[in-house]
Structure 1
Amino acid sequence: MNTLHIWQTCQRYPLGSWLFSRLFCLKAPYFGSIRPRFVQLAPELCEVHLKKRRAVHNHIGTVHAIAICNLAEAAAGTMTDATVPKSHRWIPKGMTVEYQKKAGTDLKAIARPMNGAKADEPGDYPVEVLVTDTNGDQVFRAVISMWISERPAA
C-alpha cells in the first residue's frame, strides 16, 4: 500500500491527519522526535507542521536547525513517495539548506518538485522545501536531491 493511498484512507476518519502522522512516525521512528503533523498530501505537494516546544529548542529558545532539517526531509520524502510511480523507488541523495531567520514560532513546511522535475524518470529529482513561521515569514529553505530509480524486477 503506498503512502498516498494511506493518506487518503486516513482522511475518511475524524483525526485522520493525526492518525497518518502517527503511522508515519511508526514507519520512520526518527521523525517522531519532531512530532510532525501532516496537513496536506498530494502528488507534487506535501505540507507538514511542527509545533514549537521545548524538545525541539536550541540553546536560545528557538527551533533547532536540525529539527527544521528533519521537518524538511519528512515533507520532501513524503511528497516524493506520493509522487513516484509504483515502478520506481527513491532515496535522498543530498540536501542544501539556508537558515534565513530565527524560528521562534510553530512552523509550516511545504515541499514541491523544482523546475518541473518529473518523478517518473530515473535520475535526480530536486525537491524544494520552504518553511515559514506563524507570521508567514520564510525562516528556512532547503533543496533536497532525491535519486529516482526503477525498482528491480521481482
Structure 2
Amino acid sequence: MTQKSMLQKVYAQVDKLPTPLKTRAFTVIFGRAVKFFRTTGCKFEWIETNHAIVSIKNKTALQNHIGGLHAVVMLMTAESATGALVGLNVPANAIPVIKRMEVDYRKRCSGDLRAEAMLTQEQIALMQTQEKGEVDVAVTVTDSESKEPIFVRAVWAWTPKR
C-alpha cells in the first residue's frame, strides 16, 4: 500500500505515541469523522491495524427502558471497532462501507460494554491488494460481567472512490 488515506496517515502519526496517548488521540480523531461515536462517548482502549477494542460507559442517556445499554448503542460499538480496522487497511482510493450486520440479542447488558475486533493477516492482505471486495470482521462484545449480551457479525465492503 503506497498511498495512504487520511485515517491511515493519522494512525501512522499517533502510532508513535505511548498507548494511553495513542488511544486517546485516535478516539478524538475517529470521533471527528464519526459523529455518533463521539456523541455516545465511545473510546478506543486499543488500536492496531489488526486489533481494536472500543468501550462505552453505561450512562443514563444511552440506556433502554430496563437500564441496559440501548440496542443501537451496543451495535454501534461493534460497528466502530470493526470499521476502524477496515478503514486502516483498505486502499487509499477506496471507501469502506458496512454491507451487513447481523445481531443476536442474547441477554440484558450489565454495566459498561466492550467490543473487540480482529483481522487476520490474510484479510489485511486482501484489503491492501484488491481494488474492491468484502470481509467478515470478527468482533466479540462483552459487558461488565464478561458476558456476551449480543453476538454480532459485521461484513464490510470497500469500493473505489468515484
Question: Does the TM-score normalized on the shorter chain lie above 0.5?
Answer: yes
The farther-off stretch of 31-40 and 7-16 is: 7-16
| Offset from partner CA, 1:87-107 (integer Å, 9 cap, x none) | 433111121111122111111
Could you tell me the TM-score, scaled by structure 1's length? 0.84
Could you tell me the TM-score, scaled by structure 2's length? 0.80
| Offset from partner CA, 1:32-81 (integer Å, 9 cap, x none) | 23211101112222110111111110011111111101111111111111
Q: Residue in 2 aligned with 1:10?
A: 14
Q: CA separation in 1, counterparts of 2:61 and 2:12?
A: 30
The farther-off stretch of 124-133 and 14-23 is: 14-23
Q: Residue in 2 aligned with 1:51?
A: 57
The farther-off stretch of 123-132 and 14-23 is: 14-23
Aligned with 1:136 (options 146, 150, 153): 146
The farther-off stretch of 134-143 and 68-77 is: 134-143
Aligned with 1:119 (options 111, 118, 127): 127
Residues 2 and 82 in structure 1, CA contact (< 8 A), matched pair in contact too? no
Q: Does 1:109 align with 2:119?
A: no
Instruction: Return 5+ residue gaps in structure 2 as ranges.
Output: none
The farther-off stretch of 29-38 and 1-10 is: 1-10
Q: What SS does the corresponding residue of 1:52 show, helix, strand or coil?
A: coil
The percent of aligned pairs where both chains have the same amino acid is: 24
Aligned with 1:64 (options 63, 70, 86): 70
Aligned with 1:33 (options 39, 42, 49): 39
Q: CA separation in 1, counterparts of 2:40 and 2:73?
A: 6
The farther-off stretch of 2-11 and 66-75 is: 2-11
More helix by share: 2
